[in-house]
Amino acid sequence: MTNDNANVQERMGRTQWFLEDRFGMFIHWGLYAIPARGEWVRSVERITVEDYQPYFDQFDPVRYDAAAWARAAKQAGMKYAVLTAKHHDGFCLFDSALTDYKSTNTPAGRDLVREFVEAFRAEGLKVGLYYSLIDWHHEDYPAYGDRIHPMRDNEQYKRNPETFDRYLTYMHGQVRELLTGYGKLDIMWFDFSYEEMMGEKWKASELMAMIRSLQPHLIVDNRLEASGEHGGSIFTSHPSSYAGDFASPEQIIPPQGLTDSDGHSIPWEACITLNNNWGYAANDQMYKSASTVIRKLVECVSKNGNLLLNVGPNALGEIPQASLDILAEVGAWMTSNSASIYGCAQADWPKPEWGRYTQNGNKLYAHLFEESVGPINLSGLAGRVKQARLLADGSEVFVTRPWNTAQYPHDAFVSLAMPAHASYPLPDRRDTVIELE
Ligand code: H79
């Protein structure tokens, strides 16, 4: 069944590359890298604009080397990246003509967004920009001053819609700057709507009309309309013009792939941190292992989704070494296994007991997370497997039917070792991939 809604049709065209690429880097970077307690520090600790000002006066990331970031992303197997051009604190990493609160006015003296887009494009990666709808610094945003918790400021908004209009002019103007001054962008990542602050409160149809006219191929997340409570009309058969091109589950991988009310798959991207913070947090060493990252990437792809994995560079501009180490190990796995990720999607078979399937046409990828006792059961695949090979080295895997499988006539079995009924360690304990034709 196809959907004749024009927004859905156009979305399918725009998101084609996104559904193939599957793996991207999220980068949260700004003044908050100096206090190093996460990007929400100003709100959580009720820091006033004045008390936050020293971080602006000190911001001098002398080791920022966008080319080094781009190499780390590329070597990890990532195909695109999204940088925080402006986060909730309102600080701009780009040379906006509409504010003085920008990196070019700090000791950094540089347009950090420009360096980012140029370096990542040079590595062949697609580039996206995160732009916060919320702004704790702009005087016309209803959460100005020390009342900076956006969830609690609707009363103030209701009292003063005229001044909020001035903020919207600023916000739309900055989006225009980003879309006209930095070449071809691939993603705009808006964050976030809440309570009644959503959709047309942001003048979203006007904003989207501008985006579509300036950069028609660009894809947009669903957060002009989605809040924590609901994902917006992208989940219906007739999405609005600002419903977005993909859903954006945060710090969660949905239990099943995401579908609209007609049961059609929706493009989605889980954004997940490497430790427990988005912005740099000096005391947060709760890093996910490379193994976990690989398996979670596989899980996303097995449910038709993408993974946008976050790093938080420090005040000097470096991606933390612990993050780089994990990315390098993920990259080592991707080097020999990425055919089971790029261009792959949910398989035609249900999730197996020992791991997950991904699929690309007639290639089915069995991702073994668990060691097996005896031959590995490919449920329901009896007579359908033409050939099986280890993806990492191309070596043949035995499609086998030893005596102890006779009672399971509908299942196919493969074995990584002879004799076929032996137990054996997996060649790659993170995820051993068997390519089945
Ligand atoms: O940019 C990252 C987050 O800063 C942002 N979205 C991702 C991509 C985000 N903003 N708000 N939220 C996510 C949800 C709000 C969470 C909150 Fe809290 C709970 C705000 C206050 C309580 C988390 C915990 C942030 C501060 C404490």
**The complex's ipTM?**
0.96
Whether 105 and 41 share a structural domain: yes
Q: What is the pLDDT of residue 374?
A: 87
Whether 296 and 359 share a structural domain: no
Tokens of 19: 């559904």
Tokens of 217: 């191929």
Closest residue (by CA) to atom 17 of ligand 1?
40
Whether 308 and 428 share a structural domain: no
DSSP 279-290: S-BTT---PPPH
Whether 135 and 20 share a structural domain: yes
Q: Which amino acid is at 327?
A: L
Per DSSP bridges, beta strands 23-27 and 80-86 are parallel
Domain range for residue 292?
Answer: 6-340
Q: What is the pLDDT of residue 153?
A: 67
Rounded to whole angstroms, how far apart are CA atoms 271 and 181? Answer: 27
Structural domain contains residue 174: yes
Phi first, then psi: give them for residue 142, nearest 5 degrees: -65, 0
Atom of ligand 1 nearest to the CA of 28: 1
Q: What is the pLDDT of residue 48?
A: 87
Whose CA is closest to 225, among 186, 195, 265? 195
Distances (CA, A) of 22 to 17, 32, 118, 378: 9, 29, 22, 25
Q: What is the CATH number of the domain that holds 423?
A: 2.60.40.1180
Whether 293 and 195 share a structural domain: yes
SS3 348: coil
**What is the pTM assigned to this prediction?**
0.97
Structural domain contains residue 374: yes
Closest residue (by CA) to atom 15 of ligand 1?
228
Closest residue (by CA) to atom 14 of ligand 1?
228
Whether 378 and 260 share a structural domain: no
Whether 330 and 362 share a structural domain: no
Pocket of ligand 1 (CB under 6 A): 28, 39-40, 44, 191-192, 250, 271, 278
| Residue where a domain terminates, one of 310, 340, 370 | 340
Q: What is the pLDDT of residue 158?
A: 74
Count other Cβ atoms within 10 Å, centred on residue 417: 15
Whether 204 and 67 share a structural domain: yes
Whether 233 and 204 share a structural domain: yes
Q: What is the pLDDT of residue 245?
A: 98
Whether 159 and 83 share a structural domain: yes
Give the distance (Å) from ligand 1 centre to CA of residue 47.
Answer: 16
Which residues of the chain fall below pLDDT 70? 1-2, 143-154
Per DSSP bridges, beta strands 126-132 and 363-368 are unpaired
Per DSSP bridges, beta strands 305-311 and 412-415 are unpaired
Q: How many domains are contained in the chain?
A: 2
